[in-house]
Structure 1
Amino acid sequence: MPLATLICLVVAIHDGDTLTARCGNATNYQQVRLRVAAIDAPESQQAFGQKSREHLARLCFRQQAMLQPVEKDKYGRTVAHVRCGGTDVAAAQVGAGMAWVYMPYAVDRPGLTVLQDRARAQRTGLWSQPRPQAPWTYRHKHARQESQGSSA
């Protein structure tokens, strides 16, 4: 069962799918690090990593956000459906070619796949590259390279 909707102010953008929001009133607020549910954006060092972050900043930075928490991830971040200024952030990032749909967590969001297919067909954003690499593949590859480098 999802938790109650929170209304917060976005105070930091970390990458294309992670932000920090200040929730509650001025005398008793809590900062929450959030991961946008159902998407995975390019890592900062990846192609389109910075553009994805900038796009999320244009959507959300210093904006009021409505958050529907889903769960906590293994890093302690709150995974949530996020709307900034009435815009569904996951849909905006995927539709602009700034994030992938993360299928294991997008089963209840079939519209995201439609947006991703359209962005890919129009070669929008990261889909303009000849062979865009999914962030989960990038992380796996680089984690393996780092572990091999430290054992050499």
Structure 2
Amino acid sequence: MSSVIASWRGLWSLLLMMLALPVTATEYTGKVVGVSDGDTLTLLVPDGSSYKPIKIRLGEIDTPESAQPYGARAKQQLSELVFDRPARVVVQTTDRYGRTVGRVYVGGFDINAEMIRRGAGWVYRQYAKDSSFYRLEAEAKAAKRGLWALPEAQRIPPWEWRKTGGGVATSPPIKASNLPSTPATRNEWVCADKRYCRQMTSCEEARFYLTTCGVKSLDGNHNGKPCEALCTPSHQ
């Protein structure tokens, strides 16, 4: 009888030891309370009787850095999809910065895939495992959605941009003085520091800044049409 009791005590001790081991979460559910950029958000999750914030890096994608062309717009796109909404994160790994990397879902909607579909980022070649992302990226590129509408010189993958320190992507546009004085074409525009209608040279440029660069100050009445005075029929 004593041997049976000793055996049960041993099993109980082993069970307690197993329960004491740290458990790595494979999934988080919470509310998105912050968006840092196009591929990083903060999720508020239950932690006992309170809550704790967890920094989440969207896995398998890489969006433009904040200082890159389309960087601000990528952040805005992610915010529109997730901010202040309940979300589920399927954990993939932890990166070198201590961030949780994973697939983010809002109402069953795959946010990682949607960012690629919208042209708000690239497939992160070094880490991507989902082959469907490449198809979504190709479709966005063919349709010139999001960053794919930018001039080719500005479409620098973030991992390459980080290597060069970002000097190329943020250079302001330079126009040769000996060129004919003709209206700028879409390929000559870049997302610079223009924020007001008085800085626009044409309605087309205003549309570019509104739709591609995400400069919402050009659409004062929120009807999707920038610079009303400039974009009326008499000015186009």
TM-score, with length taken from structure 1: 0.88
Shift of 1:85: 2.6
Shift of 1:25: 5.8
Counterpart contact for 1:41–1:100, Cα < 8 Å: yes
1:32 and 2:54 are equivalent in the alignment? yes
**Structure 2 counterpart of 1:118, from 103, 125, 139:** 139
- Determine the C-alpha separation between the residues in 1 that align with 2:84 and 2:78: 11
- Determine the C-alpha separation between the residues in 2 that align with 1:71 and 1:28: 25
Shift of 1:28: 2.4
**Which amino acid counterpart does residue 7 of structure 1 have in structure 2?**
T
**Structure 1 counterpart of 2:113, from 83, 86, 91:** 91
Gaps of 5+ in 2: 1-23, 169-236
Tell me the residue number matched to 1:148: none
Tell me the residue number matched to 1:69: 91
Counterpart contact for 2:26–2:92, Cα < 8 Å: no
1:82 aligned counterpart, secondary structure: strand
Gaps of 5+ in 1: 146-152
Distance 1:26 1:63, change over 3 A: farther
Tell me the residue number matched to 1:81: 103
- Determine the C-alpha separation between the residues in 2 that align with 1:6 and 1:34: 10
- Determine the C-alpha separation between the residues in 2 that align with 1:54 and 1:27: 32
1:105 aligned counterpart, secondary structure: coil
Counterpart contact for 1:63–1:85, Cα < 8 Å: no
1:68 aligned counterpart, secondary structure: strand
1:142 and 2:177 are equivalent in the alignment? no
Counterpart contact for 2:65–2:158, Cα < 8 Å: yes
Counterpart contact for 1:35–1:77, Cα < 8 Å: yes
**Structure 2 counterpart of 1:42, from 51, 64, 74:** 64
**Structure 2 counterpart of 1:133, from 135, 138, 156:** 156
Shift of 1:143: 7.1
**Which amino acid counterpart does residue 159 of structure 2 have in structure 1?**
W
- Determine the C-alpha separation between the residues in 2 that align with 1:4 and 1:79: 11
**Ranges of 4+ aligned residues in structure 1 off by more than 4 Å:** none
Distance 1:118 1:143, change over 3 A: closer
- Determine the C-alpha separation between the residues in 2 that align with 1:22 and 1:77: 14
Q: Deviations over 1:27-52 (max 9, x none)?
A: 32221001000000000011110110
**Which amino acid counterpart does residue 100 of structure 1 have in structure 2?**
W
- Determine the C-alpha separation between the residues in 1 that align with 2:26 and 2:94: 14
2:72 aligned counterpart, secondary structure: helix
TM-score, with length taken from structure 2: 0.57
**Structure 2 counterpart of 1:17, from 33, 36, 39:** 39
Structure 1 or 2: more strand by fraction: 1
- Determine the C-alpha separation between the residues in 2 that align with 1:85 and 1:126: 26
